[in-house]
């Protein structure tokens, strides 16, 4: 069934514009509480990133859940994967995250986790959607939900992250620069790496509600690149606003993306004889990753873009590792969802095992030139299925003569068409990408 409200990663949009309004989020809290309560007594955790609108939406969700008779436990600003972990450890029926991830402060969204710390099952999302269209009611006064705050949430999550590496692990002597994107990781991430012995310089860890992802973090990595070189650090780590996405910078200032990072983790696990299955990437994963894994005999499959699809493929196959090149890395041997801090720790552990630098290890993946152009669209036209766009894609694909691929897809979180062209000639690839983007823009005009 098609969804009216839920996208690939919850419900997201511009603050103050439907559905990201206090009224809708109040109703969403009630609908979610009613759906969760059908399974009995209900406890729901709420966490958020550092956007100023998080205060407003936290209160709205709290009121809606309480009206439905669900007890609420507030976590405050915490990484998205921390909510997944704490939902499990507190044996809650669900966890809710108020975040728009890598988007600017004037966007926000609501994401859900099941009691197992995974994405909500489809049937639960559909149940919530049905309830959203029903009249809102309030349970009897004696059955209203109660609200409490978990004061030691950060400490619990820090210890969980540290437990993902062996107890005797020390990163003493490792000089790191960490960019927290003025987001949800601003407290916990520096503590994790410092407590494991690393020397840490921290960037973008002074959130004011408006500066999340603003020229910082994994989507704006120039400041981290400059600081790593200036500090002569071993490497840099960039998180996004809710810390489910990570990119790295080697000591030369070169960016290391999700494709390269998952290869480093997978090859290390294989070398230690602990790799289960293969690696799940996406339609956007670079061909170079697939070829590099193939040389090691590690299976590789592609899922649709979106971490929920990567996770679904992992669950179906019983594998542990998945990634998007944008930096969502899933390490199922440690957690139930994409976790930027845990993924970064696994990369550091791999470098320690091999006794090599990030710049050296990343050379094992020889990436094919890949150009991505975003085209904004609106209105009723579906540019991806438009005949003119299809014809242009077919023409470009034929011109590459089997030495590349074309992918057009609509973003699940923004009104964008992502035009991707990959091949063995960078100049040619960029020209094709610009050509296709121009056709898409003309169709959308």
Annotated binding site: 101, 240, 242, 244
How far, in Å, are 11, 23, 113, 218 from residue 18 at the CA level?
A: 11, 9, 23, 28
Decide: helix, strand or coil at residue 374: strand
HSE-up of 382 (CA within 13 Å, CB side)? Answer: 6
The whole-angstrom separation of Cα 189 and Cα 345 is 11
Contact 241, 186 (CB under 8 A): no
CA atoms 398, 399, 402, 405: torsion sign: negative
In the annotated binding site for Mg(2+), the residues are 101, 240, 242, 244
Is residue 102 within 8 A of residue 218, CB to CB? The reply is yes
Write down the catalytic residue from 53, 66, 99, 101: 101
* Nearest Cα to Cα of residue 407 among 304, 333, 307: 304
Q: Which of 255, 252, 270 is nearest to 326 (CA)?
A: 255
> For the purposes of burial, counting CB atoms within 10 Å of the CB of 343, is it exposed (0-12), middle (13-18) or buried (19 or more)?
buried
Q: What are the residues whose beta carbons fall under 8 Å from the beta carbon of 21, sequence distance 6 or more?
A: none
Judge contact between 375 and 383, C-beta under 8 A: yes
Contact 126, 106 (CB under 8 A): no
* Contacts of 400 by beta carbon, 8 Å cutoff, 6+ apart: 406, 423, 428, 432
Q: What does the alpha-carbon distance between residue 325 and residue 132 come to, in Å, rounded to a whole number? A: 35
What does the alpha-carbon distance between residue 303 and residue 323 come to, in Å, rounded to a whole number? 10
Please state whether the peptide bond connecting residue 371 to the residue before it is cis, i.e. omega within 30 degrees of 0: no
- The answer to whether 101 is a known catalytic residue is yes
Q: Which residues are catalytic?
A: 101
């Amino acid at each position: 069934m098609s969804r009216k409200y839920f996208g690939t990663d919850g419900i997201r949009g511009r603050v103050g514009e439907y559905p990201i309004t206090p009224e809708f989020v109040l109703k969403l809290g009630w609908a979610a509480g009613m759906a969760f309560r059908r399974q009995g007594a209900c406890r729901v955790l709420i966490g958020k990133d550092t956007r100023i609108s998080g205060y407003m939406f936290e209160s709205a969700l709290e009121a809606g859940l309480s009206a439905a008779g669900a007890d609420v436990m507030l976590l405050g600003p915490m990484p998205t994967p921390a909510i997944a972990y704490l939902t499990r450890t507190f044996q809650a029926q669900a966890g809710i995250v108020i975040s728009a991830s890598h988007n600017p402060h004037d966007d926000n969204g609501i994401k859900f986790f099941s009691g197992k710390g995974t994405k909500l099952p489809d049937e639960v999302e559909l149940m919530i959607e049905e309830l959203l269209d029903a009249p809102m009611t309030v349970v009897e006064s004696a059955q209203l939900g109660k609200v409490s705050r978990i004061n030691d949430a950060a400490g619990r999550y820090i210890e969980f992250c540290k437990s993902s590496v062996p107890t005797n692990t020390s990163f003493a002597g490792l000089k790191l620069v960490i960019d927290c994107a003025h987001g949800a990781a601003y407290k916990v991430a520096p503590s994790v790496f410092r407590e494991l012995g690393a020397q840490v310089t921290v960037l973008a860890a002074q959130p004011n509600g408006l500066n999340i992802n603003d020229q910082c973090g994994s989507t704006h990595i120039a400041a981290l690149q400059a600081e790593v070189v200036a500090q002569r650090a071993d490497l840099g780590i960039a998180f996004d606003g809710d810390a489910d996405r990570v990119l790295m910078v080697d000591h030369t200032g070169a960016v290391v993306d999700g494709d390269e990072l998952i290869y480093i983790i997978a090859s290390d696990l294989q070398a230690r004889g602990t790799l289960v299955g293969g690696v799940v990437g996406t339609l956007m994963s670079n061909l170079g990753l697939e070829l590099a894994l193939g040389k090691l005999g590690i299976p590789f499959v592609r899922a649709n873009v979106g971490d929920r699809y990567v996770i679904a493929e992992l669950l179906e196959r019983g594998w542990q590792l998945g990634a998007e090149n944008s930096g969502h890395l899933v390490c199922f041997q440690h957690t139930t969802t994409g976790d930027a801090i845990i993924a970064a720790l696994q990369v550091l552990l791999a470098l320690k095992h091999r006794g090599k630098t990030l710049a050296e290890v990343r050379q094992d993946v020889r990436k094919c030139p890949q150009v991505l152009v975003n085209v904004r669209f609106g209105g009723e036209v579906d540019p991806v299925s438009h005949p003119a766009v299809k014809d242009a894609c077919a023409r470009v694909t034929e011109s590459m003569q089997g030495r590349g691929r074309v992918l057009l897809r609509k973003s699940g979180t923004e009104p964008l068409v992502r035009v991707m062209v990959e091949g063995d000639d960078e100049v040619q690839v960029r020209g094709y990408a610009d050509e296709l983007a121009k056709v898409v823009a003309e169709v959308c005009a």
